Amino acid sequence: RKEVEQDPGPFNVPEGATVAFNCTYSNSASQSFFWYRQDCRKEPKLLMSVYSSGNEDGRFTAQLNRASQYISLLIRDSKLSDSATYLCVVTESLNVMTTDSWGKLQFGAGTQVVVTP
Amino acid sequence: NAGVTQTPKFQVLKTGQSMTLQCAQDMNHEYMSWYRQDPGMGLRLIHYSVGAGITDQGEVPNGYNVSRSTTEDFPLRLLSAAPSQTSVYFCASSYESLSWNTEAFFGQGTRLTVV
């Protein structure tokens, strides 16, 4: 079983509509959660961190559900430029006295979003 | 502001050849790592480093070597290329390891084909 799982999509979204998708993670010890965006044939870039209480960044809203071990991303008023693959990233903080937890970013395979005119 | 620079962007190798993928960052980040990205698999960690002189294996280290002689550079060596190493390779760096808001910065990627 993959540690981080995402629906690969594609999610075809009319411009101006809302789209939401989830990411599930298997390790209950996971501490940090992020959404990265990856454009076709480009490098991933941080979209937003996911806070325990949920957070918004403009048209983007991220939620964390620790009990069910998933995070979600909602995009409102979709723009053509939102077309991309969204990667769910989870990290573990195994021991605050060590420095090896950063090396263990776990990536989902990504959810593709296609916004159409 | 260069960020993370990877070279080359594209490479074709014959089975059995060796090569080095270069990665350099100018942000004085302590933490660097190499990932490979394959269709449907997500990014998988190959090797990582928490500072100069310190490296460790990730999820898929076989067939790859790394070294970290300086803070800036983290080259990835393919010892004897195999078709299974055909992939897109990303180098990433980050300033901190334990901050839960840490952002990883990625290079532009190297598309490697082994024939």
User: What integer pLDDT is reported at residue B1 of this predicted model?
Assistant: 67
Partner residue opposite A103 with nearest CB, options B43, B45, B107: B45
Please report, for residues B42, B67, B75, the alpha-carbon distance to residue B39 in angstroms, rounded to integers and kept in the order given: 7, 27, 24
- CA dihedral (A58, A42, B82, B64) positive or negative: negative
Q: Which chain A residue's Cα is nearest to B111?
A: A41
The residue that leads in pLDDT, B28 or B1, is: B28
User: What integer pLDDT is reported at residue B97 of this predicted model?
Assistant: 57
What percent of chain A is modeled with pLDDT above 90? 73
Across A3-7, A17-21, A71-75, A81-85, least confident range: A3-7
Q: Rounded to 10 degrees, what is the CA torsion of A94, A44, A34, B59? A: -30
Q: Which of B104, B95, B112 is nearest to B28 (CA)?
A: B95
pLDDT category, B100, cuts 50, 70, 90? Answer: low
Across A4-18, A75-89, B64-78, B95-109, least confident range: B95-109
Task: Compute the average pLDDT of residues B64-73.
Answer: 97
pLDDT category, B94, cuts 50, 70, 90? Answer: confident
Q: Which chain B residue's Cα is nearest to A7?
A: B40
Interface contact B101-A49, CB threshold 8 A: yes
Q: Is the pLDDT of residue B110 over 90?
A: yes
Q: Which of B27, B31, B60 is nearest to B43 (CA)?
A: B60
Helix, strand, coil proportions of chain B in percent (round to 5)? 5, 50, 45
